[in-house]
Amino acid sequence: MRILLAEDDQMLSNGVTMALSQNGYLVDHVKSGSAADSALTQTPYDAVILDLGLPDMDGLEVLTRLRQRGQATPVVILTAREAVPDRVNGLDLGANDYMTKPFHLDELEARIRAVLRKDSWSNQTEVRYGDFVYDTVGRRLYVRGEPVDLSAREVAVLELLLQRINKVVNKQQLTEHLSSWESSISFNAIEIIVHRLRKKLLGSGCNLRTIRGLGYILEPPQ
Ligand code: CA
């Protein structure tokens, strides 16, 4: 899961980035509204954490432009503006949630999880195909009732494949999903992750198939 953090307070940004990274999210950080706007036109993010008081373009303007482009990326507004009209305005412009500063990192993470779940899993708390069960809240895989250890990258690949089950996902899409500005991932690395993940799915009934020249497809049991 790749998240854009638009926030000009460096200390706060460091804290949020560290907390989210520890939980397996990839975070790209920008400090101005125009940088957020251009990042959002270039990269398919899974969610945006958006400060409103940003240099050179207000956060509400960033949000307006995002929705005008028809992008449905979930947005959590993070701001010191706590007046009711500000909240109403933010939500009316298409924000999915709104948090006022100061806040607890745990609560921000929970809200991010909630908007991601709503967006990706239509609010399901688990995805079940016979012996394959994926807990979308705890982000844990169970095969025949047994928990399976997955790395953060394996989780990211599995989630993308699950969200597009029975559809081909190409290496470029996986690369964009698994890279941040600070760490980009190669096609080779993707192949290794998929190889490991395929082994871990043995016995689940779900088949992770390579479509030569196109990408990968996750097929549920017949
Ligand atoms: Ca600010």
pLDDT tens by residue, the chain, 222 residues = 899 999 999 999 999 999 998 888 899 999 999 999 999 999 989 999 999 999 999 999 999 999 999 999 999 999 888 788 888 888 888 999 999 989 999 999 999 988 988 777 777 889 999 999 999 888 899 999 999 999 988 998 999 999 899 999 999 999 988 888 778 889 999 999 999 999 999 999 999 999 999 999 999 998
Chain-centroid distance, C-alpha 55: 25
d(CA 6, CA 59): 8
What pLDDT does 35 receive? 98
What pTM did the predictor assign? Answer: 0.79
- Backbone φ and ψ for 128, nearest 5 degrees, come out as -130, 125
Residue identified by tokens 């290794």 is 192
Residue identified by tokens 């993940």 is 197
DSSP state of 182: S
What pLDDT does 181 receive? 79
What pLDDT does 109 receive? 92
172 CA → ligand 1 middle, Å: 34
Burial tier of 218 (Cβ tally within 10 Å: 0-12, 13-18, 19+): buried
Q: Which two structure tokens, joined as six digits, stand for 162?
A: 């699950």
50 CA → ligand 1 middle, Å: 9
81 CA → ligand 1 middle, Å: 10
95 CA → ligand 1 middle, Å: 17
115 CA → ligand 1 middle, Å: 22
